[in-house]
Structure 1
Amino acid sequence: MLPKRRSCGEGGRRGDPVISCDVTTPAILWFRRDLRLYDHAALLAAARRSESVLAVFVLDDNLLRPAGASRRDFLYGCLRELDERLGHRLLLRHGDPAEVLPELAERVGAGSVHVSADTNPYGSRRDERVRDALRERGVDWEVTGSPYAVTPGRITKADGNPYKVFTPFRRAWSEHGWPPPAETGVDTVDWMSPEGLDGVPVPDGEQAAAPDLPPPGETNALRRWDGFVESGLPEYDQQRDRPDIAGTSRMSAYLHLGCVHPRTMLRDLSQLDHHGAGSYRNELAFREFYADVLWNWPDSARYNFDTRFDRMPLDTGSEANTLFDIWCAGRTGFPIVDAGMRQLLQEGWMHNRVRMIVASFLVKDLHLPWWWGARHFMLHLVDGDLASNQHGWQWAAGSGTDAAPYFRIFNPTTQGERFDPSGEYVRRYVSELRDVGGKRVHQPWKFDGAQAPDYPAPVVDHSHERQEALARYGRIKNS
């Protein structure tokens, strides 16, 4: 439903921008990590500002280059779906947003550019440049909402400092609350035609044999979410750690690109009263916590949050590089680790429990830098989110907020036996072990090598490397 128009100079609800121009002046809605039409606060703000809106997405090489083929292909699919829903009125441009947006605003006579906040380090710097370039041309820059229920930076302790520990953050986050979903859709505004504005087509997929990416776009995101709420959520708290079964929602890629807003999901969760809903809400809170940490400490994307870990002895050199390549390829000789790394390469995704297992193996069995693994994940993950990825890796390394205790070192064999008890997950991704039945698959070194002649022997002795990791952590834990 089209929202009520407001006259210039008129305010709306508390926090709404004050309108300062004629509603007949066009506006631009710059889509970023908000590739949807429902529950879109910036779209609602644009509708209050103007009767005609130009939908724009800028293909920015600074974001595309490090994304990896899986994430780029999923992005392109989401853009196609959004363009179709807009009646092919989504304008794509390729270039520097600080040059593209001001030029477009001048060509269409736009009085304002509307966005959802981007709180990542690069996005914040880029948006400052775009805002300044627009203001030089007399074009307003309006930020409304973000990819989070509570925009990073808004929740602080009583003394005004940000939270470093998840549990009190989650409590404050819940108490802070969030508005209901914005009632927006394709009919909220009159979308301008991009004809004659030098748009480019959505790029084709880059991978000849594309991985099993989730079906892209808002429609598929909402369909998947509705199906999960009905059939998967009640058992989520019991099944989410099992990679051998479909116990998770697989919503992470949709959340990353904003095909669905967490506010929509939280509304649905609030109407349910079972452990699965509470557990899922907790995971959404973790996503918001890590985004808040990145906003307050942007260097935590690259450096140890706990600076004591700057003194942690790490392996480097040719042997370390070789072990890293073996880990990346899924050839470590530890089945659950190899299954996870091969799933990542094949599907652009990895089960969250397995992400923790392979991360622990890299930093505590191979003694390699966490940022090597984080960079590899960001290259291949379709849901690669800077805040969640980097801080998840720091959790595994012990150097982050709420980090795993230094003495918590996952045993990859017992982790596999516990969370993949039948061995189904390993057999699915490690072809050399597909003929090995039951949980025996987690200890292939115990049976005749003839059953799996092509599967490698373990690259390290876990018991020995565990003691080595404890010794290294012991050198810094009291420093």
Structure 2
Amino acid sequence: MTREAPVVLWFRRDLRLGDHAALLEASKHSKHVLALYVLDEALLKPGGAPREAFMYGCLEKLNEQLGGRLMLVRGDPAAEVVKAAKKIGAAAVHVSADTGPYGRRRDASVAKALAEHNIDWVETGSSYAVTPGSVTKPDGEPYRVFTPFFRAWTARGWHSPADTGPSLVDWVEPPKSLKIPKPPKVSATLPEPGEQAALTVWHDFLDGPIETYDADRDRPDREGTTRLSPYLRWGNIHPRTILADLSGDERVGAKSLRSEICWREFHADVLWHRPETARKNYDKRFDGMKHDDDSEAFSRWCEGRTGYPMVDAGMRQLLAEGWMHNRVRMVVASFLVKDLHLPWWLGARHFMKHLVDGDLASNQLNWQWVAGCGTDAAPYFRIFNPTTQGEKFDPNGDYVRKYVPELRSVAGKAVHKLKERPGEYPEPMVDHAHERQVSLERYGKITS
């Protein structure tokens, strides 16, 4: 390959130009690079309007960074990537590796199609600090428990950020390109898209909230989380950038954030080794778990009308912002699975439809963790009490009052344990103590 022959950089979950390992590798092979994005119906169809709207916003920002030279096509990647490469006489197509089940199948198909035209397929880096599948036990087996994975992941380490940017190469003028579609109308208030927005959010977090992150990340009534999850999902910022900025930082908040980043990488690693867990129970014993079939109960949960203030606040935050606080995600998930006895995949599908940060590995395996069928060794007895969770993590009731306007007249923590139901706010749809016992009995039958 000569540096005179152009190459293609196919963007996927890496919508940025800074710290971009695949861009750096492309620049070593050619000074002429075509930026390509493929609108793939196989990925667009399962995603909801908030995720699609945010994605189009990210594409607009990327296109601006490229001086309007992002080539956008729609269709089967195995056909469209080959077409784009052939149009400019490309010697290679460069990508950040996609480690998800669909992405691996798609990329194998595209690489095969390119090879038929003598066009190289080059994978460099991934969406993770450590590419899934890279961290294993000494015997080569994958880790099934987080803590030893975290130790091995930390010991292995990761590369320094790639020194890249928009001026690294000469961007090829697209021979033909679709216009970036107008984002679908959504009622949710979405975060500002793009790489610059991601870096601003990250630097703002470093300037303040990181000091109290370890304690405040569990408090939905405070602005104590990073709010980086949408940007990590779309690759507006790479976790390696974050970890580099945290290097040598031994504050409790920094240590806690490194652990949270590793959770994301652990779930991606589990999905790499067990791709079927995107749809099926990690623990096969749970295939025999009895579930209820109650569409009305599911609808009330989706709409935030359960009569449990912490649950309803979370579900309404999801609809209002395309995002939900992580602690509350666990509470609402536990309520669906262990109070309403509905299968985890119904909730996971609803989340993926509405979350801007909807990520297959993190979403599905966190749901399985809460449901008890995931990687945790002894999870079945963990049943979140939605009332006490509210009292502990939203002690003044500010989070509930923000998202459940019917309860704004109720002062303090009394909002979690209502003596009276103001206005149209519903009675609890189930009795938590009773449903907890039902869940324990059902778990007992499959774990004994």
Range class of TM-score, shorter chain: over 0.9
Corresponding residue pairs, total: 448
Checking the alignment, whether the CA contact within 8 Å between 2:49 and 2:186 is kept in structure 1 is no
Q: Which residue of 1 aligns with 2:135?
A: 155
Rate the CA distance shift 1:397–1:208 in 2: closer, same or farther, 3 A: closer
Q: Which residue of 2 aligns with 1:205?
A: 183
Whole-angstrom distance in 2 between the partners of 1:470 and 1:413: 19
Q: Which amino acid aligns with 1:189?
A: V
Residues 290-319 of structure 1: CA distance to partner in whole angstroms, max 9, x if unpaired?
A: 000000000001011000111111112xxx
> 1:453: how far off?
2.2
- Quick check: 113-122 or 430-439, which moved more? 430-439
State TM-score, norm by structure 2.
0.99
Q: Which residue of 1 aligns with 2:239?
A: 262
DSSP 3-state at the match of 2:176: coil
Give 1:9-48 correspondences, 5 Å limit: 21-48=1-28
Checking the alignment, whether the CA contact within 8 Å between 1:396 and 1:403 is kept in structure 2 is no
Alignment equivalent of 1:313, drawn from 287, 290, 293: 290
Q: Which amino acid aligns with 1:151?
A: T
DSSP 3-state at the match of 1:125: helix
Unaligned runs of 5+ in 1: 1-20
> 1:353: how far off?
0.2
Q: Which residue of 1 aligns with 2:70?
A: 90
Alignment equivalent of 1:347, drawn from 317, 321, 329: 321
Whole-angstrom distance in 2 between the partners of 1:112 and 1:82: 22
> 1:208: how far off?
5.2
Q: Which amino acid aligns with 1:131?
A: A
Whole-angstrom distance in 2 between the partners of 1:36 and 1:200: 20
Alignment equivalent of 2:152, drawn from 164, 168, 172: 172
Residues 338-373 of structure 1: CA distance to partner in whole angstroms, max 9, x if unpaired?
A: 000011011100000000000000000001100000
Give 1:211-290 correspondences, 5 Å limit: 211-290=188-267
Alignment equivalent of 2:331, drawn from 345, 352, 357: 357
Residues 182-227 of structure 1: CA distance to partner in whole angstroms, max 9, x if unpaired?
A: 0000111110111xx3311111121154x22111100110111011
> 1:271: how far off?
3.4
Q: Which amino acid aligns with 1:59?
A: L
Alignment equivalent of 2:360, drawn from 386, 392, 400: 386
Checking the alignment, whether the CA contact within 8 Å between 1:59 and 1:92 is kept in structure 2 is yes
DSSP 3-state at the match of 1:116: strand
Checking the alignment, whether the CA contact within 8 Å between 2:18 and 2:162 is kept in structure 1 is yes
Unaligned runs of 5+ in 2: none
> 1:261: how far off?
0.5
DSSP 3-state at the match of 1:467: helix
Rate the CA distance shift 1:253–1:208 in 2: closer, same or farther, 3 A: closer
DSSP 3-state at the match of 1:342: helix
DSSP 3-state at the match of 2:18: coil
**Residue 463 in structure 1 maps to residue 433 in structure 2:** yes
Q: Which amino acid aligns with 1:229?
A: L
Q: Which amino acid aligns with 1:224?
A: V
Checking the alignment, whether the CA contact within 8 Å between 1:395 and 1:404 is kept in structure 2 is no
Q: Which residue of 2 aligns with 1:55?
A: 35
| Identity in percent | 60
Q: Which residue of 2 aligns with 1:441?
A: 415
Whole-angstrom distance in 1 between the partners of 2:75 and 2:40: 6
Whole-angstrom distance in 1 between the partners of 2:245 and 2:376: 28
**Residue 421 in structure 1 maps to residue 395 in structure 2:** yes
> 1:403: how far off?
5.7
Rate the CA distance shift 1:314–1:248 in 2: closer, same or farther, 3 A: same
Residues 158-180 of structure 1: CA distance to partner in whole angstroms, max 9, x if unpaired?
A: 11111111011111101111110
**Residue 477 in structure 1 maps to residue 447 in structure 2:** yes
Alignment equivalent of 2:274, drawn from 262, 272, 297: 297
Rate the CA distance shift 1:50–1:228 in 2: closer, same or farther, 3 A: same
